[in-house]
Amino acid sequence: MTKAATKIVQDEAACCAPMTEEALSAGDADEFAAIFAALGDPIRLRLFSIIAAEGEACSCNLEGPLERSQPTISHHTKILAEAGLIVGDKRGKWVWWSVSPERLKVARQVLGAD
């Protein structure tokens, strides 16, 4: 996550106005584009929804529902994690994923959904 995104997450009141109220700055547009690009893939969107619905999910349990191999799951979780949408907790040889509520809130605010 960039310094700008970290600042937004740390100071919820500092988040930009929704796009319906004010145009995004170039920096905010770049930052939010990364979030929406990560969710723009159907596999990643499904992966994100599974993790969000379960509260947390082990990488070991994602192959079946997504009908994808473990390397593919790893690729997609990496992209979601780089966008700050999910965070991983390594337990033994597996990573347990959960949604970053702060980052999700930022996405909702920019869309005017919060």
Distance, in Å, from the CA atom of 67 to the CA atom of 112, rounded to the nearest integer, reads 34
Report the alpha-carbon angle 81-4-35, nearest 5. Answer: 35
Which parts of the chain register pLDDT below 70? Answer: 1-20, 110-114
pTM for the full model?
0.76
**What pLDDT is attached to residue 1?**
43
CB 85 within 8 A of CB 38: yes
pLDDT digits (tens, 9 = 90+) for 12-40: 435 566 666 778 788 888 888 888 899 99
Q: Give me the domains of the chain, ranges plus CATH numbers.
A: 3-111 (1.10.10.10)
**What pLDDT is attached to residue 90?**
96
